[in-house]
Structure 1
Amino acid sequence: MDDVQHFAGPPDWLWYILFYFFLAGLSGGSYVLATLLRLRNAPGDEPMARIGYYIAFPPMLIAPVLLALDLGQPLRFWHMLVNTTPGGFGLNFKYWSPMSIGSWALVVFGAITTVSFAAALVRDGRLRLPLVAWLDGRAFNVVGSLFGLFIAGYTGVLLSVSNQPVWSDTWALGGLFLASGLAGAAALMLLLARYRPEARPSAPMLSISERLYSLLELALIAAFAVTLIAAGTQDIVFGPPWSLLWVVVLAGLLPGLYGLATERLSAGGAAALRYSVVLPLLVLAGVLALRAAIIFSVQL
Structure 2
Amino acid sequence: MEVGRIRKGELPSVVEIWKESFRGELAQRGADLGNIAPLFRAFLSLRRLPLWVLHRLGVPVEVWVLRMGGRPVGAVGQIGCRVPYIIGLVVKRKGQELRLVRLLEQGVATGLRAAGFPLMRALVPAEHLIAKLAIKLGWEAIGSITQFVLPLQGLSSDARSRLPSVRSISFRRERLLACGFTRRRDIKGLLALDRNYGSPVVGILGFRERVFGVEEKGELLGLVRVSWNAYQPVAFMHVPYLREAEAYWSLLAHATRFFRGLGKAELHLDLWEEEGDLREGLRKMGAREAGRWIYLVKRLGPPFL
- Bigger fraction of residues in strand: 2
TM-score clears 0.5: no
- Bigger fraction of residues in helix: 1
Q: TM-score, normalised by structure 1?
A: 0.29
Q: TM-score, normalised by structure 2?
A: 0.29
